[in-house]
Amino acid sequence: MIVRGFFFLFLSLGLLEVLSHDGIVPLVQSLDGEWNLWNSNKSFFLPAQVPGCVHTALQQRGLIQDPYFRFNDLLYEWISLDNWTYATTFAVSKELRSKRQVLLILDGVDTVASVWLNGALVGRTDNMFRSYVFPVRELLKAEENTLLVRFLSSIVYATQRRNAHAAYAIPPECPPSVQKGQCHVNFIRKAQSSFSWDWGPSFPGAALWKGVRLEAFDSLRLVHLAALPLYDVGSSSWSLQVDALVDALQPTLAQITLDLPELLSRVAFPANIRPGAAKYTFTLSVNASADVRLWWPNGLGEQTSYRLLLTARSPDGVALLQAHSKVYFRRIELVQEPVSSSPGLSFYFRINGKPLFLKGSNWIPAHSFQDQVTPHVLTDLLRSAADANMNVLRVWGGGVYEQDAFYDACDDLGLMVWQDFMFACAMYPTEDDFIRSVREEVYQQVWRLKSHPSVIMWSANNENEAALATDWFHIPDRQRPVYLKDYVALYVDNVMAIVKQEDPSRPFLVSSPTNGAESEREGYVASDPYDPRYGDTHFYSYSADCWDWRAFPRTRFASEYGFQSWPSLSTLRPVSVAEDWSLSSRFAGHRQHHQDGNEQMLKQASVHFRLPNSSDPLTHFTHTLYLTQVMQAQCVKTQTEFYRRSRSELIGGLGNTMGALYWQLNDIWQAPSWSSIEFGGKWKMLHYLAADFFADVLPVAFEDENGTLLIYAVSDLSQDLKLRAVVSVYTWSTPDPLFTKKSDLVAVPGGSAVPVFKWPVAALLAGSGRCSRRSCLLAFRLEEGGGDQRGPANHHFLCSPKDALGLKPPDITAKVRQDETGLVVDLQSSAVAPFVWLDAGDIPGRFDANGFLMLSRNRTVAFRAGKPTSVTEFSRALRVTSLSDLYSP
């Protein structure tokens, strides 16, 4: 059958764009914009933006304060307990109504709602992670169409569902009370952290968080277009698997052309389009004479993209559709194979055939209200990750599948994404309707994301294997089989089955942490998912001394580890008042959602540092904030350096560590957390240090149990180097080296960690003449034969700074000037100054170095301001703190 007429496409498919030209005009009517919003008893009736959410709408009309201010998360609980209705009225064109099919498409409904058009129920929603498509042609009028989306409180719904699930409990029932959250979040397909988390507030509001539109067509609709690169090792050739999801009203014969103009590749063939929605898979071989440039992660090369053009014509040449998409070529493998004669399997990623150490962090939602996560917020955070030499982020399974803009930016920046499905720290129900909802969610997300080269793997849940294996929820033994069965039913029989079918191109893990292949062998729940010999691990210990690398597991892959700190005063100020500015305030207790978190931070800090003791309350508070950041930065540095230097070593079957993703990159609000970037984008000290400890070439020092100093050269480069270590001894009181020792040049192959220096600390101290562990410290760097430094300088403390002799009261002076590059700060100091911290208050921007050990009398630091500022304004805002400031009266 020959089809004439129009063919209309989705506009919002991440990589897919529609070409508009003669005869192919997408007939889409957006219903975004200003709607009305009211609560159950209409005591609130207000205009509200779509996309948007109830809290933002109320705040924009001045009906509530900033929900993040002080204790407002508790005060505004009523908003999430109420039921809200969004409504809009619209006219539609005659042309649109003349189409044979008109769909109402809601891309994001958060969460439980009924959708009414002109008084008729068109459908119900129960999952914020999927879009909903309802046929509405028969209901449309020319004028005054009324669309209502009536939300039921998520809290009420979760409780109803829990009560309906009488046979057995699905733990946890409620979050720990310190989180001040809501119960039964595992019964609703909504961001699991929206009912509270140990770093975030409870704001389970209602939202139309993505667009709403009508789409009309006469015969066919392209729902999704996706492309997967395939590499044939035997012939060293590339092809593209092109998947099209097409919705057709009737059988249609089409001539399809796929074109990769930049790679001189083209193929044309006829296709029989069946009625209904179906997937069509085509393969396009890349011309052997074309030079395919690959997509590489950050730090390893370019992120080359190509344009794929898809055209469909009817047999008599009428254009049915044209679409184009960005495509990328890269290979990804997760290698799990025996490492030695001892039990255990490797666990590392190979990108384009090259084993790669994954360096990065974990991503959480950037705001409780997703409508406030603008492209600027996303790119600022993602650039910060790339600028700190990260090459990977894990989109953690308790938040949301991120926006298209997130994955587009990751593609461009070379940030790989470890993508969890949104299940975290809980058991989940497996009723038919729950599973049905999850299946559609997984299907849609896989189609939406599978063309992104940045996405390197899927993982079905966060920590649920560990929760079951190590019995977080005290499940009686006789009931365990029920939960194991549910676990396999949800993540294996459904999530995994859909992923394997729709995207076999990527590795899939059932959980994180997991023992990977070993977990599968043990029926998907290993007896110890934290086993360092298999898969990935999550590891937290707040009580052990974090400067002692022996405290850390010698894991194959560290996907979570971290320490808390407080954000700076400039970040807290907009949501607090002066009486809150003390760690013993009600506010400081309220914002801390991790049991004993504030005490743990001070306790860990006190292992190596004197605690602030200023008699001025504000100074005491700012020093405390600073010290928690010093502690966090140094702890995560030590742990990450341990993982990086362990990449080439296998000790008793342990080691060959190939990943370090600390917890966590970003914050959801202004509160203490494990993040390295504060809410609003300001870098904590940890993030500045991460830029160094994730550098491509890095010197790492540690002492063995006999007081021998070892320095490893770590290299993530492709090429081999010859490096020596240069170690200098300094006293705390003078920024001039007393004694310097160099090692011989040592071969450092690309992608390895090699010991280059080994010398007893006592001998170094003796060589310097007048040093003890308490009066001196070591600085070191790597250099090539010609003397050029490779990688950042590093240092090693021989005692805790609290015991250091000669650590003088500060006399750092700072002068600000403007040069052709922008603002620069000239620092001068007469003594060694540890953890020098420049804080520009609420002037947004970044220093080119911060939190450093000042080992010279002069140092110049540049500031890249995020908004126009002057020398005067900047000087007024600038505060310089170093550890010694805390020790002066």
Ligand X SMILES: *[C@@H]1O[C@H](CO)[C@@H](O)[C@H](O)[C@H]1NC(C)=O
Which residues are part of the catalytic machinery? 463, 560
**Type of residue numbered 104:** L
Q: Residue 729 or 807: which CB sits closer to ligand X?
A: 807
Q: Which helix (H) or strand (E) covers residue 258, if one does?
A: strand 252-260
| Contact (Cβ atoms closer than 8 angstroms) between residue 778 and residue 762 | no
Pair of tokens at residue 712: 């490893």
What is Dmax (Cα atoms) for the chain?
Answer: 94
504: left (phi over 0), alpha (psi -120 to 50) or beta: alpha
Shortest Cβ contact with ligand X: which residue? 40
C-alpha span between 674 and 660 (Å, rounded)? 15
Residue 478, by phi and psi: left (phi above 0), alpha (psi -120 to 50) or beta?
Answer: alpha
Query: Least distance from C-beta 35 to ligand X, angstroms?
Result: 20
The whole-angstrom separation of Cα 213 and Cα 31 is 5
- In the complex, the residues that contact ligand X under the rule CB under 6 A are 39-41, 43, 78, 82-83, 152-153, 156, 264-266, 287, 289, 613, 615, 704-706, 828, 857-858, 887, 889
Residue with tokens 């992120």: 303
For residue 656, CA distances in Å to 107, 324, 382, 553, 753 come to 43, 42, 28, 12, 10
Angle among Cα 749, 750, 753 to the nearest 5 degrees reads 65
Q: What are phi and psi of 306, to 5 degrees?
A: -130, 160
The minimum distance between CB 398 and ligand X, in angstroms, equals: 26
Minimum distance between the CB of residue 284 and ligand X, rounded to whole angstroms?
10
Residue type at 118 in one-letter notation: N
66 vs 736 by CB, closer to ligand X: 736
- Give me the least distance between CB of 758 and ligand X, in Å please: 9
Q: Are 355 and 751 in contact (CB under 8 A)?
A: yes
Contact status, residue 693 vs residue 641, Cβ threshold 8 Å: yes
Q: How far apart are CA 581 and CA 573, in angstroms?
A: 9
Task: Give DSSP secondary structure letters for 616-674.
Answer: SHHHHHHHHHHHHHHHHHHHHHHHHHHHHHTTT-EETTEE---EEEES-S--SSSS-BS
End-to-end CA gap in the chain: 89
Question: Please, what is the Cα angle at 376 between 373 and 380, to 5 degrees?
Answer: 105
Q: Quick one: tokens of 655?
A: 């080691």
Residues 229 and 238: their CA atoms lie apart, in Å, by 7
Among residues 74 and 277, whose Cβ is nearest to ligand X? 74
The least distance separating ligand X from the CB of residue 618, rounded to whole angstroms, comes to 14
Rounded to 5 degrees, what angle do the CA atoms 333, 339, 343 make?
A: 120
Q: Establish how many alpha carbons lie within 13 A of residue 75's alpha carbon, considering only the half-sphere containing its beta carbon.
A: 11
The Cα 685–Cα 693 span in angstroms is 12
- Supply the Cα-derived Rg of the chain in whole angstroms: 29
- Find tokens 């390893």 and name the residue: 300
Q: Are strands 84-90 and 822-828 parallel, antiparallel or unpaired?
A: unpaired
Nearer to ligand X, 615 or 872 (CB): 615
Q: Nearest distance from residue 78's CB to ligand X, in Å?
A: 5
CB of 714 to ligand X, least distance (A): 20
Q: Which of residues 82 and 371 has its CB atom nearest to ligand X in the complex?
A: 82
C-beta neighbour count of 331 within 10 angstroms = 17
Which CB sits closer to ligand X, 60 or 708? 708
Nearest CA-CA partner of 757 in 608, 835, 645, 620: 645
Using CB atoms within 10 Å of the CB of residue 764, give its burial: 0 to 12 exposed, 13 to 18 middle, 19+ buried.
Answer: buried
Nearest approach, Cβ of 852 to ligand X (angstroms)? Answer: 17
Shortest distance, CB of residue 44 to ligand X, whole angstroms? 7
Closer residue to ligand X, CB minimum distance, 443 or 549? 549
Q: How far is the CB of 704 from ligand X (least distance, A)?
A: 4
Nearest approach in angstroms of CB 881 to ligand X is 16
Rounded to a whole number of angstroms, the minimum distance from the CB of residue 282 to ligand X is 15
281 CB neighbour count, 10 Å cutoff: 10
Q: Dihedral angle at the C-alpha atoms of 66, 70, 74, 75, nearest 10 degrees? A: -60
**Nearest to ligand X of 433, 704 (CB atom):** 704
